[in-house]
Each structure stands twice: as structure tokens, then as C-alpha cells.
A and B are shown apart, each in its own frame.
Chain A
């Protein structure tokens, strides 16, 4: 059976036998870096393709179908085009910040990748405060967006950036609170512990209604934090042309574009890890045969499958709903999501104390 865990241990054993200790670490670091960048590129290409196909089918269209089989190379061709385009910097722009901003957004997205468990024992860094780390780093992206908006010297960009800041900062709260519900139930901030606590059932199943509410709040918050429709106020096309990246072109624009999709992936990966058990297969109580079949599916596939399902859900939102207005967006957070998730947190705490979730 294919397993990423075995692959990693084979590579590690081989490195340690051929190289001396510090060099083995260096090689591992380089390999992880290359793998992460490659993953980003592939994820970006596949998610853009997926988005276009999902959008097309919802809109009774075919979507990309000319470049390569079923249009699979369409996004590759688009990327090539973007790479070859000139990266313009507007005259009145703050050139340093303007050029730095896309990298800030990208780096923030890359940092969150570290604690995500892609498969059983396949994790870059199993930090003991994993969930806290994710919550902290994910708000760094807003700095990049603000930078882009401010330095573009464009009023549309500025408006978009300000909207985005207000939005990300406020939705961070309910995202954090809904993650906290699971932290209370599993009793650990460590990603691997949270996953292991779901060995006998995913939290969304054994956590009853409060966890389902937390899950819904989390999905809404993730949609908002990644600036996706119906919360895409930061780039609201019909209002602000393209929002904070109005002035960007070429590869710098591509970085923003890529970061958006990476952020979706990461948000959904966190959601899948926390609520849907990460790489943990689906088990039903005492059905030994069924559970055995489920175990046979590689853990990486379980993880990818759950994440893609959540990504699809978010795309489904995007291609169905109109956009909220900026005051309604904040109303939704402060009047509905935050009180609901706070009450929910109380219920979850009660549940954890009484041991109802077991």
C-alpha cells in the first residue's frame, strides 16, 4: 500500500547513512522547501482549473476545454502568459512596498503550511501550539494586502485594502472561537493530537450539534478570511474594479492570485483536520470489515478528499451568492457569528466537562 510515511522514512534513513549530521539536515530543509514550492505551484494550477470548471458547470458552460485534454493545461498556459507580461509599477507608487506586498502575502500563506498534516506522520513541523500558530500567522496576510493597497497610490486599491483589513481582523475572531471549540474537546493545541483524538470518530460526528454549528461558523469565517465571494469586498469587481490588486500586473498579480488559492487550500485543510479528522479514515463503531476497507485507502487520499470537498463547498458559495455590503459584512460577524460562536463555546465547554462527547 502506498504511504507517504514510508517514503519519508526511507529518504531519511538514506540521507543519514550517506551524509554527516548537519548536512543531512540541510538537505532535508532544501528538499522540504522545494517540495513546498512545487506543491504551491501545483495546487495553484489545479485549484484555478477546478474553480473554472466548477464555475462553468454551475453556469451551464463547459469551461476550459481547448488547451490539453479537457483543458487541463489552460492554467499552465495562463501562468506562462502572466510570467511573460511586464510587471508595471505605477508612477506615484511607493516602489519598495509595492514590490514587497505580493511576497508578504505569499510568505504568510507559505508559513501556515508548516503544521498541516498531509498524511499519517507526514508533517513538516508538528509544533506543540499548532492551532495557535495557524491562527496567528493567517492574520499576517492582511499586512501584505494593506501594503499593496496603500502603496499602489490608487483610491480603489486603498478602499479595497481597508475593507479587507476590517474584514480579516473581525472574522479572525469567530474562526478562532470555532477552532477553540475543538481544542477544548480534544484537549490539545497540537495538530497531531487533535487528529489522533478523532480516531474513534470525527469531531463533526461525535461532537453533536455544537460542533456542527462551530463548523458552519468556521466555513463562513474561512470564506471571509480568504476574501472569497460572497465576502470578496476587498476586490469587489463591480465596485472597486479589482480592489487591492488593481495596479498589479504580470507575475506580481499572479502571486496575489496564487496566494488566494493557497489560502483557500490552507483554510480548508485546517477545517478538514480539525472537524473532519484530517487523514483519519471514516470508521463506523464495530463494523470491522467496513473499517478495514476504509483503512486500506491511503491516509493522504483521505486528507486530500476532505480538503477538496471543503474547497468545493466554498466555490459553490462563490458561484451562487451575491456579495454583501461592507456594513452588512461586519453586522454578520459582530451581531450573528460572534455571539453564536461564543454561546456555542460555552456549550462545548459544558459538553467537555460533562463528558457528553464520548
Chain B
């Protein structure tokens, strides 16, 4: 009876945040228990946009299944495709041409920048500032145009395929990426002026949504969210794939463990990604963009696992093959799911407004959690 009225026996208010709610970035359903303004419990309810991607992939061939992963974490669709391609290539023991590797890494990093830009605008919007959203989209649009020219799509690319990439680079690619880098470098100070340095923003995020390194590890928080607690979990450093072992870049960690630390990790990561792209953009080797593959791919019997660092954390793709043309079972280890599991720990004790700051800095993409 009390549950029906939306209160529990201690007189706390139980509120549904979502599935339709402006700050859940999609359709996350949280049931929160509020004592006045203070959050006492956060309970995520999943399943609202479950599309059964893992099961669906069992009936798709090895060429087909990766296009669906663009629709998991739609903000880093390149990196998702990359993870699938890596797993299949592991099974086929394919050697990827150098040019394809360069293209893949550059596009991964561009995707990471674009994702962090959108996150920056969306976080500011969660905290009530609307204008940053438009500034971040202005720069993100430049990346989208580069993607559109080379990959033929703006969001769900399906450009990285087993064996390489689908097409060769567009002739303007290098020029446009350089223009973007120069432009973004001259604009990134605006990000700091408008949001990072703003006293209201700092008060809203500093000390909010704290999680210790031990807890972050035990919840399996990866990506910028884990690194904000000082957990060195960058797959690009720990298990380098493609060219990452040859590149010079810094793994960004912050010790704060609060929302502001996670924010700073992402802001600094954008600079690191630009650094990576600068190392590669002038040295793209000539050659094939795709390894020779058979028309129908058949993986040998066994299981194959690949892991990549998406904009949100570690994405694992686990394929079990029975030797046929379709996988026997596919399992995705998505970063958003593990990061969301820590939300209760992060938000309890804070105010309702802190919950939004916490969710914003976890950078949740709901289709990634629900799949």
C-alpha cells in the first residue's frame, strides 16, 4: 500500500526517474528513494530498450553481426565495430595491412573526441547550462563531416570490417582532419572558460559522486570513469591492439574519484587523442586498405575474445564458434553496464541534483547498457 503511494515506511519518497526523463540520456529507468532532497537509494531498472543484440547476432554471419554493434554505444560506433573486427580477425588469424591499421586508429581517436565533445555538452545540460551543448556540437560537426566523407555515415558507420576497412580514405581526409585539429585546439579554451572554470560548475561537481579506487575496481568501472578514481585501466596501454604499442601517449588518471575528476579525465583525454592523431595523420602508409578475405567467413572451432578501449571504457567481444558461418554465442562486455552498477554507491547521500551530475560524468549511453 505504501509502495503504491510512492512512500516507504520511513516516509521517504520513491520516485521514478525515467524511462522518459530529460537527464537520463535515453531511456534509463531509475527508481530512487528520496529523503527530502537527499538520495537514499538508487535502483536502476534495465530492459526498456533491450533489443536482444547478442541473441540476434547468433543468426548473423561474421560479416553481418558487427553492424548491430554500431547501435550499442552509438557514440563510439567505430570502436565497437573495431572490437568485433578484431575478434573475427583473431579467429581467422588475418594479417591486417598497415594502412588499414592507421585508418582504424585515427578513426577510433576521432570517435573518442566526438564522443567526449557530446558528453561535455550533455553534462553541462544536465547541470542546467544549455549553451555549451551548441558549442560542442559545432566542433563535433566537423568530425561528423570527416566521417561522412570517408565512411559514408555520420553515426552508425559500419566502416571497419573484418580484414580492414570498407573503403579507402577520402582524398580530403588528411586535410580535413588537420583543419579540425587546428580549429579544435583554438576552441578548447572556450570549454574551460565556459564550464571548467565556472565556480558554479566546480561546486556542483567537486566532492560529488565520490568512489574510491578499491570500489571502482571491484565494480569493474573502466574508462574515464574508472580512471577518475586513479584506476589505471586503459586497454590501449594494458593490452595494446593495432598500433597503440608504438604510439606515445599518456594514460590520463586523476586521483579525485569525484565527478570533477572524471570530468577532467575526459577533457584531458581529448587532448591526448589529438596528440595520437597528430602522430599518425602524416604517416599513413600506402597500400591495401583491406586484407584478402573469402566471401564467406568461417571461424574455426573455439572461442575468441577481443578488448578495446571505447570512449566509455573497456568493451569486450567474446565469440564462441562451432566452426560454422555464424557464431554459436556472442557476449559483449559493455563498459556502461559496469559503470552503471556503481551508481548507487556514487549517488547515495548526495542531493537529487548530485545524482544528475554523477550520471552525467559516468557518461552513460543506455543502449550500451541494455543492448
Interface residues of chain A, those whose CB is within 8 Å of chain B, are 55, 58-61, 155-156, 159, 163, 229-230, 232-233, 236-241, 319-328
Q: How far is the CA of A293 from the CA of B194 in the complex (A)?
A: 41
Q: CB within 8 A of B126: which of A60, A230, A238, A327?
A: A238
Question: Using Cβ atoms and an 8 Å threshold, which residues of chain A touch B355?
Answer: 239
B130 and A59 contact, CB distance less than 8 A: yes
A200 to B15, CA, bound (A): 58
**Known A239-B356, A241-B21; contact A322-B127, beta-carbon cutoff 8 A:** yes
Chain B residues 335 to 370 lying within 8 A of chain A, measured CB to CB, are 351-356
Alpha-carbon distance A156/B15, docked complex (angstroms): 8
23 A–B contacts, CB within 8 A, in A order:
A59-B130, A60-B135, A60-B138, A61-B134, A155-B15, A230-B128, A236-B128, A238-B125, A238-B126, A322-B127, A322-B198, A322-B200, A323-B129, A323-B200, A323-B204, A324-B200, A325-B203, A325-B353, A326-B37, A326-B353, A328-B200, A328-B203, A328-B204
* Residues in B whose Cβ lies below 8 Å from that of A321: 128-129, 198, 200
Chain A minimum-CB-distance residue to B37? A326
Answer yes or no: B6 CB below 8 A from chain A CBs.
yes
CA of A323 to CA of B128 in the docked complex: distance in angstroms? 5
Shortest B194–chain A CB gap in Å is 7
A323–B6 Cα gap in the complex (Å)?
A: 27
Scan residues 94-137 of chain B and give those whose CB is less than 8 A from a CB of chain A.
124-131, 133-135
With A322-B200, A322-B204 in contact, do A241 and B195 touch (Cβ < 8 Å)?
A: no
Which residues in A have their C-beta under 8 angstroms from that of B356? 238-239
Contacts of A327 in B (CB 8 A): 37, 351
Contacts A159-B352, A328-B203 given; does A320 touch B131 at CB 8 Å: yes
Q: Once the chains bind, are B201 and A326 in contact (CB under 8 Å)?
A: no
* Assembly CA distance A336 to B190 (angstroms): 28
Do A322 and B351 have beta carbons less than 8 Å apart? no
Q: Which of B23, B37, B204 contacts A324 (CB 8 A)?
A: B204
B13 within 8 Å of A (CB atoms):
yes
Closest to A60 in B: B134
Within B1-51, which residues are at the interface with A (CB < 8 Å)?
6, 13, 15, 21-23, 34, 37
Q: Are B203 and A55 in contact (CB under 8 A)?
A: no
Interface of B is mostly: helix
Residues on B with beta carbons closer than 8 Å to the beta carbon of A324: 200, 203-204
CA distance in complex: A78, B65 (Å): 46
A325 touching B22 by the CB < 8 A rule? no
Q: B177-216 vs A: 1/0 string, CB under 8 Å?
A: 0000000000000000011001011011000000000000
Chain B residues whose C-beta falls within 8 Å of the C-beta of A163 in the assembled complex: 37
Known: A159-B37, A325-B351, A325-B353. A237 touches B22 (CB 8 A): yes
B interface list, Cβ under 8 A from A = 6, 13, 15, 21-23, 34, 37, 124-131, 133-135, 138, 194-195, 198, 200-201, 203-204, 351-356
Q: CA separation between A230 and B351, bound complex, in Å? A: 17
Q: How far, in Å, is A219 (CB) from chain B's closest CB?
A: 16
A239 to B194, CA, bound (A): 21
B131 adjacent to A59 (CB under 8 Å)? yes
Q: Within the complex, what minimum Cβ distance (angstroms) separates B229 from chain A?
A: 22
Closest 5 pairs between A and B when the two form their complex, measured CB to CB: A323-B128, A238-B23, A322-B127, A59-B134, A322-B129
Q: Which residues of A contact B127 (CB under 8 A)?
A: 238, 322-323
Since A238-B126, A326-B37, A328-B203 are in contact, a sample of 8 more A-B pairs with Cβ atoms closer than 8 Å, ordered by chain A residue number, is: A55-B130, A61-B134, A229-B128, A229-B129, A322-B128, A323-B129, A323-B204, A325-B204
CB-based nearest B residue for A238: B23
Q: Which of A60, A156, A163, A238 has the largest number of chain B CB atoms within 10 A?
A: A238
Q: Chain A residues near B200 (CB, 8 Å)?
A: 230, 321-324, 328
The answer to whether B353 and A320 touch across the interface, beta carbons within 8 angstroms, is: no
Are B204 and A241 neighbours in the complex by a CB distance under 8 Å? Answer: no
A61 and B127 CA atoms in complex are apart in Å by 21
Contact of B354 among A237, A319, A325 (CB under 8 A): A325
Distance of A8 Cα from B189 Cα, bound (Å): 55
Contacts of B133 in A (CB 8 A): 59
Given contacts A59-B134, A230-B200, A321-B129, contact A326 B351 (CB under 8 A): yes
- Residues of A within 8 Å of B198, CB to CB, are 321-322
A55 to B133, CA, bound (A): 12
Q: How far is the CA of A232 from the CA of B129 in the complex (A)?
A: 11
Tell me the smallest distance from the CB of B181 to a CB of chain A, in Å.
21
Query: For residue B14, which residue of chain A has the nearest CB?
Result: A155
List, in ascending order, chain B residues with CB within 8 A of A55's CB. Answer: 130-131
